Structure 1
Amino acid sequence: MQILDATAQHAGGIAAIYNHAVEHTTAIWNERLVDAADRAAWLAERQGSGFPVLVALEDDGTVLGYATYGPWRPHDGYRHTVEHSLYVREGLRGRGTGSALLTALLERARAQGIHVMVAGIDASNEGSVRLHERFGFTRVGVLPQVGTKFGRWLDLAFLQLVLDQAPPAGGGSSSSR
């Protein structure tokens, strides 16, 4: 298995993993399927904004999983915090692909000076929660019934990992008036 930066040639494999999650799981709270062109545009936008999209590849080039991160919230004060996504092809979970992707993603985030990485996970997805806890993520809260899929309400668990102990960079202004 190799972990690489995704290219447009991986868009079809990413779309297949994404669509399976849309159709069969509560890992993605979307209901719209995508095609390779959609994922290629998403990939270009994500990478164009300076965020990585990593793929785990089989020796034959098959996409086994993918991981990325992007802005946590749009306001300046959150610029050192990201939220990530990580998905592994059905039937391959629990075999190290997710761990390899998360390891590489955390390395990339640290290299980019990211301070905190957030995971928003369906609270009933125990496998994903356990994976993140093995990497040091801490469960910091649950928002009950904030999503819906397959005719039921879903709870969103938030986990976070502080990646460094650096003080905040200067900049911006504050006023106590």
Structure 2
Amino acid sequence: MSNANVTAGQATKRPITGRFVLICLIVFFGMIIGVNVVMMKFALQTLPGTEVDSPYAASLAYGNEIEAARVQAARGWNVSGHVARDADGAASVRVEARDRDGAALSDVVFTGRLDRPADRRLDQPVELTAVGNGVHRGRVAQLAAGQWDLLLEGTRNGERVFLSRNRVILK
């Protein structure tokens, strides 16, 4: 059989050369690396990294936190926090602290922080001021809507005696 019998619609096959294989490999791996670089760039821009700087140190301190939580629960305090977003985008924070008998906790100094669960770069400290009768108030300018954690810490004579973290959703 001769090549003269090839019909008009059939194309002749090109041989696969080393140059063609090299170009295909370079294009294939170039696309893989390019997509990985783009995905890595987006991942680093949207997630700042770990929540804890040293997981090992945090695990060592965990036992102390459990004991502090037991002591705090034994006190029977009732501490409530309320966060409301104002029309101008600011947030008002109100904390009311009472002991187990309902008396105001006037000797405890409270500090607060609004933490963004997904991005700690957006965390906002709240300066709480005692206004009397166990009530503390604070304000944060320009707080975005969404999920936040209200972290309240109470100290007495320089010692932490209260800690709570509560999820709030601001509209």
Give the shorter-chain TM-score range.
under 0.3
What is the TM-score with the length of structure 1 in the denominator?
A: 0.23
Q: Which has the larger radius of gyration?
A: 2
What is the TM-score with the length of structure 2 in the denominator?
A: 0.24
